[in-house]
Structure 1
Amino acid sequence: MTTESLFKPYTLGPLTLANRFVMAPLTRNRAGAGLVPNELAATYYAQRASAGLLITEATQVSAQAQGYQDTPGLYTPAQVEGWRKVTDAVHAKGGHIFAQLWHVGRVSHVDLQPGAAAPVAPSAIRAGTKTFVNNSFVDVSEPRALALDELPGIVNDFRLAAANAMAAGFDGVEIHGANGYLLEQFIKDGVNQRTDAYGGSIENRARLLLEVTAAVVKEIGAERTGVRISPVSPANGISCSDPQPQYNYIVDQLSALGIVYLHVVEGATGGPRDVAEFDYDALRTRFKQTYLANNGYDLDLASARLAEGKADLFAFGRLFISNPDLVERLKVGAPLAAPNMATLYGGGAEGYTDYPVLAAVSSN
């Protein structure tokens, strides 16, 4: 199998994707007043609509779910309307787009929380990481443990955000169960020290993610629902003593729910693929729908994994920031532009919507 197979259409549930390239979710911290996506966001995503699938920047399901400055939400009418402009722009270009739904849990700061409250977590264990607030990176705040009777509300927040995503014209949603945020905080025993039905055993620690997924599936359909996991990534100070059986169980349950894809960060998020020993092929075998592979992929690795039947779709992250026409550049073997690291987070059009496409480059 050659690289040509990556550029052929792929059926994802009810959608026919133009190719097997997926734009990974990328936080850019550019939401406007009310944490509403602005006109620049519509331009930004439409510029990248040649990807088979776009997954939005992580989008909070409630005010409590916010962990970084100027990240968008999907829990107010104004936010839904803002996202509608984005989805309309992407669909006008023939693209498909899913909204990534998150709750950051303990990876937050009191300045971002309603009433300056403490961030929430499965257990009151502070994360050894920083967040972006007041235009700078600072240590996260000390969290408080969620009470048992608060957890149905978290589930409902995800359900409502999924319904709002459909109202905003999205083709589906991705539940963020990775990178050290709330749902993964419950999964991993380095953070979750609970002794109730949501802590202790593999089944208990997986419970919140599975309840959220089941609620979203019931609300919008399994064919519109994906889930992202990162079994061994140490992102945001997360750890798990024995991830293989934990994630074998989770993936068995997610497969049974019939979700349309499983998005797997293989290795450390944005870092080494071999950060810890883990059998990703075991997840691929267990999951009966589409397997979306993420982390460190280039054209050759994606081609090899596809030829081996190890994955179906392939996520590319920062290269989509600086190459809005990444798929075309990969297809013709054109040079790839490097992102401006100084403009990744916050700001305006610079480093966001002003990266040129091949036609503009060749005409200069």
Structure 2
Amino acid sequence: MSKFQFDLHKTDGRARTGTIHTPRGEIRTPAFMPVGTAATVKAMLPESVRATGADILLGNTYHLMLRPTAERIDRLGGLHRFMNWERPILTDSGGFQVMSLAGLRKLTEHGVTFKSHIDGSKHELTPERSMEIQRLLGSDIVMCFDECPALPADKNRIAESMELSMRWAKRSREAFGDRPGHALFGIQQGGLEEDLRGQSAQALQDIGFEGYAVGGLAVGEGQEAMFGCLDYAPEQLPVDKPRYLMGVGKPDDIVGAVKRGIDMMDCVLPSRSGRTGQCFTRHGVVNIKNARHSDDPRPLDAACTCPACSNYSRAYLHHVFRAQEMISGMLLTWHNLHYFQELMSDMRAAIAAGTFAQFEAKFHADRAQGDIEPL
């Protein structure tokens, strides 16, 4: 397929399953996108990421523009070739990282000037520059440049930020131009204010995008507030376009988001947790560094088919984590990514079968049981 297209196959309540078609392959939704911040999913080979079931990866505009630079990646054949991932890639706009990572930053109508967290060098990001960087990277799904205020913030501040983001969305659309096979997603803002979210959604639809993201959540507001917003925000966006919840999240966040009509998510959690000894299983989170695992010959999760669970004991995983061996991060990250992708696959099957409510009940019941008893 030479163009970008979204086919919605089935809904169950507000949960949806479908396929995003791109020239580089299909993305099955609901989709979880592993984060490859600096052109790598930490501790994983690209082929291993694919083996977990991932259809698409996320790359990071802010990090890649600073090092090794978008211009260098372009000279070397683009991001897909550079990192040996031939399937679709989504790149974020850099806006969130500028807010959270950059040194002294100055925000104007034109854009943001900031100091690199790596070497203190000065840079500017504007909607036009963000589009240029993402074009040089060659990403399949490009995010428009926005401003993401930290919550909580007062309504006037959130409204000003949302309106600025909508003006930047229009400039992003104009700068993106005509790029067949590539998609530009608009980002809905408005904090936890339903009326502002509605205004943002309308402004984005007036501009017109290939997909729409719910932005400005998972920034410290808590799950209850996030779900409260997701009870209406996805419904404000077009039915026939993909809906992407940025930066989410924990397994129960993901299930709750899909239940409320979200199609795509990304988060560093499975890889970051893998490196710190946290393992996601059907029965909740297992902390492999705990001493209770040191003599346990059983697998992390007997029902899991990932290499960590198929070939190694809890005792071994505990040992290599305590010894700070590299294989620890590799195995635990693989396990976590496998678990996240299996969760998505199970949800796609449940929505297709019309049994999402039963799936959700079992998901929560299994987690409530907790980990297996120590030996």
Match of 1:334 in 2: 304
5+ unaligned residues in a row in structure 1: which ranges?
Answer: 32-36, 111-117, 124-129, 135-139, 193-199, 233-241, 344-348
- Distance in 1 (CA, whole Å) between partners of 2:334 and 2:165 is 45
Q: Cα distance 1:78–1:316, how it changes in 2: closer, same or farther (>3 A)?
A: closer
Match of 1:10 in 2: 19
Match of 1:237 in 2: none
- Distance in 2 (CA, whole Å) between partners of 1:164 and 1:256 is 27
Q: Any residues of structure 2 matched to 1:169-318 within 5 Å, and which? A: 170-175=139-144, 177=146, 179-180=148-149, 189-190=156-157, 203=163, 206-216=166-176, 218-220=177-179, 224-228=183-187, 231-232=190-191, 243-265=193-215, 267-269=217-219, 272-275=222-225, 279-288=229-238, 289-294=241-246, 297=249, 302-303=254-255, 306=258, 308=259, 310-318=261-269
- Distance in 1 (CA, whole Å) between partners of 2:76 and 2:42 is 13
- Distance in 1 (CA, whole Å) between partners of 2:333 and 2:81 is 20
Q: Cα distance 1:96–1:105, how it changes in 2: closer, same or farther (>3 A)?
A: closer
5+ unaligned residues in a row in structure 2: which ranges?
Answer: 1-9, 110-114, 283-300, 309-317, 339-375
Match of 2:76 in 1: 81
- Distance in 2 (CA, whole Å) between partners of 1:171 and 1:351 is 32
C-alpha contact 1:105 1:121 (8 A) present in aligned 2:
no
Letter in 1 for 2:48: Q
C-alpha contact 2:140 2:182 (8 A) present in aligned 1:
no
| Matched residue SS, 1:209 | helix
Identity of aligned residues (%): 11
Q: CA deviation at 1:26?
A: 6.3
- Distance in 1 (CA, whole Å) between partners of 2:173 and 2:57 is 20
Q: CA deviation at 1:277?
A: 8.7
Q: Does 1:157 align with 2:129?
A: yes
| Matched residue SS, 1:101 | coil
- How many residues are aligned here? 275
Match of 2:89 in 1: 97
Q: Write 1 or 2 for the structure with the bigger share of helix.
A: 2
C-alpha contact 1:159 1:215 (8 A) present in aligned 2:
yes
Q: Does 1:21 align with 2:31?
A: yes
Q: Any residues of structure 2 matched to 1:26-41 within 5 Å, and which? A: 27=37, 37=39
Q: Any residues of structure 2 matched to 1:114-129 within 5 Å, and which? A: 119-122=105-108
Letter in 2 for 1:264: V
Match of 2:295 in 1: none
Q: Cα distance 1:270–1:96, how it changes in 2: closer, same or farther (>3 A)?
A: farther
- Distance in 2 (CA, whole Å) between partners of 1:90 and 1:297 is 23
Asked which structure has the greater CA Rg, the reply is 2
Q: CA deviation at 1:164?
A: 0.9
Q: Cα distance 1:220–1:122, how it changes in 2: closer, same or farther (>3 A)?
A: same
C-alpha contact 1:225 1:259 (8 A) present in aligned 2:
yes
Letter in 1 for 2:106: V
> Structure 2-normalised TM-score?
0.52
Letter in 2 for 1:55: L
Encode CA deviations 1:122-174: one digit per residue, 9 max, x unaligned.
Answer: 38xxxxxx99557xxxxx99x9xx9xxx9xx82321231232132xxx32223
C-alpha contact 2:56 2:89 (8 A) present in aligned 1:
yes
C-alpha contact 2:145 2:165 (8 A) present in aligned 1:
no
Q: Which runs of 4+ in 1 moved over 6 A?
A: 6-9, 328-332, 349-352
C-alpha contact 2:245 2:262 (8 A) present in aligned 1:
yes
- Distance in 1 (CA, whole Å) between partners of 2:101 and 2:272 is 25
Match of 1:47 in 2: 48
- Distance in 1 (CA, whole Å) between partners of 2:126 and 2:231 is 31
- Distance in 1 (CA, whole Å) between partners of 2:48 and 2:145 is 24
